[in-house]
Structure 1
Amino acid sequence: MRALLVEEDDQGQKSASVKEVDESQMPEANVTVAVEYSTVNYKDGLCIGPGGGLVRTYPHVPGIDFAGTVEVSSDDRYKPGDKVVLTGWRVGEAWWGGYAEKARVKADWLVPLPEGLTTRQAMAVGTAGFTAMLAVMALEDHGLKPENGEVLVTGAAGGVGSVATAILAHLGYEVAAVTGRPETEAYLRGLGASRIVPREELNETVKRPLESETWAGCVDAVGGAMLARVLGQMKYGASVAAVGLAGGAGLPATVVPFLLRGVNLLGIDSVMQPYENRVRAWERIAKDLPMEKLEAMVQPATLGDLPKLGADILKGRVKGRVVVDVTA
């Protein structure tokens, strides 16, 4: 099978290239999937390149997402011909992933492809879109409604932010999209953003722990100083769903927004999410993510494009969603 193989030399230098790999090198598990599509996330950039502490052994096949057709299964839940999706479970990090024509994984890690979605559309969604839907669901579970006011999306031109913007707009929310790239304004408005907020307005800390109550909810992909600033701008009882740390892992904030305004900070993890919530999220994606807006986010790619794309996403140069046709 063809795969993007990342290898490490004696000096610890990593290199990634498309190679023919014998199936006997694949890890042992109970389901083999003929992979049709994968995608590119920040973690993939790390695994293609420096490793980021995510990859345990080399050679390695990255790709934390994939969608395809079951080829062999010894688990009763899946049979040959079934369409499936995989995100998370450290596949593509500690386990060989989706940047190959075949993947062998545990049945527990798979989810049936939702009715109404193709495998290509599922990878246009990928971990980024799955995470975005988990964030929207968490905000809704904590009381967010369209009539509550504007919802902020930080890092809006990235993968998670793009899908979150499209979903929220489709559900009737006013979306304020934060971006540091002015050239993405038309793209974000096309996804449904009603306001564009320049990144520089929010990426500096202030001494005041509270500012004017502005946002009814927030999907935050940035973290760091921006998240600290946003917490002080949330309306009473509002929630922030934290999904990323593009701006840093630190949080230079105070507890004042939590104590005086009842603000909620909701952590969103997509990797170890329980099966039932995965199915719920994918069903919501099939229903609440407009496919025409999803298509507007897509940048097509092949296995041979991945070394460059991996480097680009680490530098913040990838807009929207990359869909990798592993068979091309």
Structure 2
Amino acid sequence: MDAAKSTSKSESFVVALGNGHGSDDCQALIEEVSRKYNVPLDISLVDEAGASVWSVSKGAAQEFPNEAPSSIGAVSIGRRIQDPMNELVKIPPRSLGVGMYQHDLSEKVLEEKLQDAVIDAVAFVGVDVNTASLEILRNVPGLKGKLPDAIIASRPFYSRECLKKVKGLGPKTFENCAGFIHIGNKPDEELDSTRVHPESYILARWLLGELKCNSICTLTQAMIPEKTSEKRIALVDKAARLHNVSRERIENTIDLMMEYRSGKDPRLVLSESKVGVIKRDGSFECNAFPRNLVSDLRAFEKACPLRNIKGTIRNVTDFGIFIDFGGGR
């Protein structure tokens, strides 16, 4: 094992393991090798849906012209740990698996709905216009036709305003896409690093002033009044009156500025919760299926009932729903 020769006691490795057939046996084998060679390993089970489809695609052949499809598929699985969205947008939505009855739907309607879901995901997370792949840019709302290619050819950008110089990107397109893209590396305008839309910059600067903050880079949670406090209500009311905008827009602007300062990925904010807790009735309430229960049936029975485990719906049938909760099969 090469890793065993090169690693030190302070080093560890992450192994991306596809969640397909035989993944439990593979995980057991990797753990055995890890113990044998005393190599710390963090095994991450990754949804491998669509990896084999992309491995034989034109895009994959262009990126890895000298690699076998099996090796390309392994790269795709590994990349899903680093940046899942950037990798998954390359996969045709129907190949991600949405149930055995997906083919009973109109192909056109299914494709449209699935593509809309991909665009919504990209819009929610946002993208760095200087580093985003072509596949990501093609799914940014407002960027159609040859605009993604033109943007890549015009890099680097030092502000959102520079996007207006891209051929074919007019004022309306800029208005539609500006809130979903940002400038990641020290832009000329600090708010360009956030998900705050340019049309809310005046509001954002006013809010920073009211909070006695000279820069968004020095904004802290302690500076912002609690949402239900009188100070917060007075601040939002004053902003709505002076700037003639809705309370929702003001609250959203505050949230986006704090999101930037926290450095948290917006996807993680949605998923944060307690990992597990023993309830008074003896049941186990958790966010993820406990690994120690996967291979120990007696421990699994003792822990039941398990509640509030997050899973992924794999199939919808007339008689029920199949949910993958990360446990054994």
Higher helix share: 2
Normalising by the residue count of structure 1, what TM-score does the alignment of the two structures yield? 0.32
Larger Cα-atom Rg: 2
